[in-house]
Amino acid sequence: MPRPHEDIERHTPVDHRTGGPAIAFAPGTWCAIEVAHLAADRIDAGVAAYETLIERARSSAAKAHAAVVFRAKNGRRVIALVALDGHERFRHLAAAWDDHHLEAQHRAVAESTSLLLYRLAESAGDALLDPASTDAYAFERISRAPALVRGAIAPLASAPGFRGVSIFGSDDDVASAIVYRFEHAADVTAFRTSAVAIDILGDVGASAETLDAVHPVKTLP
C-alpha cells in the first residue's frame, strides 16, 4: 500500500531511507523553515511528505539547495529547513507547498503548518546537522530579534555539554529560530531553564514559545 502522500507525489523519485551526510549552513544563508504539527500516528507520513516536497523544490523554480528534516522526539512535529536563494525562490517554494497542503488536508497529514523565511545570523561551535550523531538537538522559535538572541552565544558556549548552535533571524528581523546541539538532552534543558537563558531568550514555558527536542532524520546535501 502506498504512503498517504504518494498518490499526489508518485512521480517524484525520493529515497526515503533515513540518514545523509552531516551538513551545515554558512552565515547569511536564506532558509525556509516550516514547522508541521501532526497527529501522533502521522509522523512517519509527515517525514516522508517533506522529503518528497524538498526533492521537488530542488528541481523546481524554487531551486532549493541543502536541506534537513527534523523529527520531534514527542512524535508530534516535523521541521523542514531548506536553503534557497532569497525572496523570489521562497515565493515559489511557498506557493508549491501551499498547494500541497491544500491537496493533502483531507488526509490529515498535518494538523497545522507554519512556513517562514529566515536568514542564518550566526553559528557557533560544531553546528553540523548530522543524522548519525548521538548528540541531543533541539529547535526553538522565539519572538525576539536575532540581534538580541546573539547575546546568548557566550553563555551557550560555556554551558555544560554544549556542542553547537545556529541562530536564524526572520525576514523582518523580529523573531528567531534556534537549533541547539548538546551532548545530552538534560544539558539542553539545564541551559534553557537557566536564569541567564531566560533573561536573554525569555521563559521557555511562555505562550507561543516552543522548544522541541528533535533529531535530524534526513539531510539532502
Q: What is the pLDDT of residues 128-154, one digit of tens each?
A: 999 999 999 999 999 999 999 999 999
For residue 106, is pLDDT > 70? no
Give the pLDDT confidence score for residue 12 in this predicted structure: 57
For residue 76, is pLDDT > 80? yes
User: Is there a contact between 68 and 29 (Cβ–Cβ < 8 Å)?
Assistant: no
pLDDT tens for each residue of 4-41:
344 344 455 677 788 999 999 999 999 999 999 988 88
End-to-end CA distance of the chain: 29
- Return the bridge partners of 215, or none: 71
Average pLDDT value for residue range 206-220? 83
Residue 190 in grid coordinates:
539545564
pLDDT tens for each residue of 177-192:
999 999 999 999 999 9
pTM of the model: 0.90
pLDDT tens for each residue of 81-100:
999 999 999 999 999 998 77
For residue 218, is pLDDT > 80? yes
Give the pLDDT confidence score for residue 32 in this predicted structure: 98
In 3D space, the residue among 95, 2, 4 whose CA is nearest the CA of residue 56 turns out to be 95
SS3 call for 49:
helix
Confidence of residue 210 (pLDDT cuts 50, 70, 90): confident
For residue 161, is pLDDT > 70? yes
Give the pLDDT confidence score for residue 1 in this predicted structure: 32
Give the domains, in start order, of the chain with CATH numbers.
Answer: 26-117 (3.30.70.100), 120-213 (3.30.70.100)
C-alpha span between 65 and 40 (Å, rounded): 30
Give the pLDDT confidence score for residue 207 in this predicted structure: 47
User: Is there a contact between 189 and 212 (Cβ–Cβ < 8 Å)?
Assistant: no
